Amino acid sequence: MIDIRIMSKYIIMLGAPGAGKGTQAELLQARMGLAHISSGDLFRENIAKQTPLGKLAKQYMDNGELVPDDVTVQMVMERIRRPDCERGVVFDGFPRTEEQARTLDKAFAAERKRINAVILLDAPDQVLIDRLAARRICAKDGSVYNLLTNPPRVPGICDKDGAPLEQREDDKPDTVRRRLQVFQKQTKPLIDYYQQASLLNRIRGDQEIELVERDLLASLEKQ
């Protein structure tokens, strides 16, 4: 019998807020049949359900800070154990600190899994700020729109389920500024970490969605 772990693919999307990690992760999910694990979405689901984890996470998220490593890692590790992850996972927004990356490496080593590729989506700060200001999400299913480059068919309404669109609290300018600082300080060191592991693929994130996807697929093929 073929060991499915050999065929499984584990891909990490790295990049600042607004770089396009979620959009590209969804495209990869559809194309490669991977599970899409967004730590931010998992926190937002917990906030919506008002779980103790959600209440804790919200205090950090509203300030643009990272949720502590121990609770984040535990939440993601539980998610990875679900059966839909057997064919592989595209991680979106996790890991975000060196501590998280090391914990993931240890957990994978114990299960004889490995990270196949890390995609760094690179874009200038002003592009990120403009994108986040124009980002709107569906209040019901979390679908993401951009008022300038990917607007809904009817203004203010989700194409898929007709629910109202809203701006994420942490996409407002003051919090965005803090999130970009947090990326520089806590997440950027991961670029070196994965470069040293020869896993890093740098892609220009300040292109149209289709062009980013094209470059991303080309870089995965070379892996």
Q: Is 43 in the site for ligand AMP (CB under 6 A)?
A: yes
Structure-token match 């970490």, residue found = 193
Nearest distance from C-beta of residue 96 to ligand AMP, angstroms: 4
Nearest distance from C-beta of residue 165 to ligand AMP, angstroms: 16
Q: Is 66 in the site for ligand AMP (CB under 6 A)?
A: yes
Cβ nearer to ligand AMP, comparing 5 with 206: 206
Can you tell me the distance from the alpha carbon of 159 to that of 152, in angstroms, rounded to the nearest whole number?
6
Can you tell me the distance from the alpha carbon of 164 to that of 159, in angstroms, rounded to the nearest whole number?
10
Which among 9, 21, 79, 131 is annotated as catalytic?
21
Indicate if 55 belongs to the active site: no
Q: Is 10 in the site for ligand AMP (CB under 6 A)?
A: no
Indicate if 179 belongs to the active site: yes
The one among 17, 20, 88, 205 contacting ligand AMP by CB under 6 A: 17
Which among 9, 79, 131, 168 is annotated as catalytic?
168
Cβ nearer to ligand AMP, comparing 66 with 120: 66
Q: Under the rule (CB under 6 A), what is the footprint of ligand AMP?
A: 17, 39-40, 43, 60-61, 64-67, 72, 93-96, 100, 170, 179
Active-site positions?
21, 96, 135, 168, 179
